[in-house]
Amino acid sequence: MALIAASVMRRVLPSVGMLAVRSRFTDMITYGVLGVAITLLALVMEPKPLLEIPFLESAVRFTVR
């Protein structure tokens, strides 16, 4: 959730001073994608997942064989 918040803050805040080495768009996309990915991974963790993805079990079984 912190990365998603960082993405929103990067969009809202006017400037970040000397820390700005990348473009605002790159920061927003990177923080947003990583934040969503980590949040989804946390929601599907075992033993009691809060989010069920139907094809995930078969995909893992196929790749781990």
pLDDT digits (tens, 9 = 90+) for 7-58: 888 888 877 666 566 788 888 899 899 999 999 888 888 788 888 888 777 7
Q: Cα torsion at 44, 42, 30, 62 (round to 10°)?
A: -40
Residue 17 confidence (pLDDT): 66
Q: By the 8 A CB rule, do 42 and 53 touch?
A: no
In this prediction the pTM is 0.67
Number of H helices, E strands in the chain: 3, 0
Q: By the 8 A CB rule, do 31 and 10 touch?
A: yes
Q: By the 8 A CB rule, do 33 and 16 touch?
A: no
Residue 19 confidence (pLDDT): 58
Q: Residue 61 is encoded by which pair of tokens?
A: 């079984």
Confidence band of 65 (pLDDT split at 50, 70, 90):
low
